[in-house]
Amino acid sequence: MSTIEQTSTSSAPLDERELRAWRGLLRAHASMCKALDAELEAEHGLPLTTYEVLMYMHDAPSRKMRMCDLADCILLSRSGLTRLIDRLQRDGLVARQSCSSDARGAYAVLTDAGVETLAAARATHLAGVRRLFLSRFTPQEQELLGDAWERVLPGAGAPGAPGACAEPAC
């Protein structure tokens, strides 16, 4: 039972420093997501996941993306995306378009209403991200955070999805 001080070996419980880094991440993430989601829902009736989908589509050429690419970008299962697009289609924010080069596939296209809704929501969301997160750090610290994520998940920072998402769509 002697408390042998190992720097960071497998089975020892996390020390205070480790706990601050790890649990802090979990708590901060949860807190920010919850706040951003609530904000978006209250002001524009959009849950956070929906916002992300609209944003990816908006930034894609012709405002349309293949279902599977979209699913990979959003970190959502394919069935999950199918039903999310169902809801958005019902609300008139996106439309489905069949894919001429691959008859199996389908595009999700942002409608004009979708573009409009997104524009409004985007302002809210960006302000929220800046207010809750980015404003707490200097540009230099933001760089460091970016580097940190790069170490945790090699492809993390930029546009596409973690590993997937070929060029044509993203």
Partner DNA sequence: CCTTGGTCGTTGCGTACGCAAATACCTCGG
Partner DNA sequence: CCGAGGTATTTGCGTACGCAACGACCAAGG
Q: In the complex, which residues of this chain contact a copy of itself (CB under 8 A)? A: 7-8, 10-14, 16-32, 75, 122-123, 126-127, 129-130, 132-137, 139, 141-146, 148-153, 155-158, 162
**Cα-Cα end-to-end distance for the chain:** 55
Judged by beta carbon, residue 62 or residue 135, the one nearer a copy of itself is 135
Among residues 40, 54, 60, 67, the one that binds DNA under rule CB under 7 A: 67
Please give the backbone phi and psi of residue 131, each rounded to the nearest 5 degrees, phi first. -65, -45
Residue 74, SS3 per DSSP: helix
Region from 18-26, 97-105, 111-119, 122-130 binding DNA, contact rule CB under 7 A: 97-105
Q: Which of DNA, a copy of itself, none lies near 6, with the C-beta cut-off 5 to 8 A by kind?
A: none
Q: Report CA-CA distances (Å) from 170 to 97, 111, 146, 160, 164.
A: 17, 18, 21, 6, 10
The secondary structure element, H or E, covering residue 95 is: strand 94-98
Q: Which of a copy of itself, DNA, none lies near 3, with the C-beta cut-off 5 to 8 A by kind?
A: none
The least CB distance from residue 152 to DNA, in Å, is 20
Residue 77 contacts DNA per CB under 7 A? yes
Asked whether the beta carbons of 88 and 64 are under 8 A apart, the reply is no
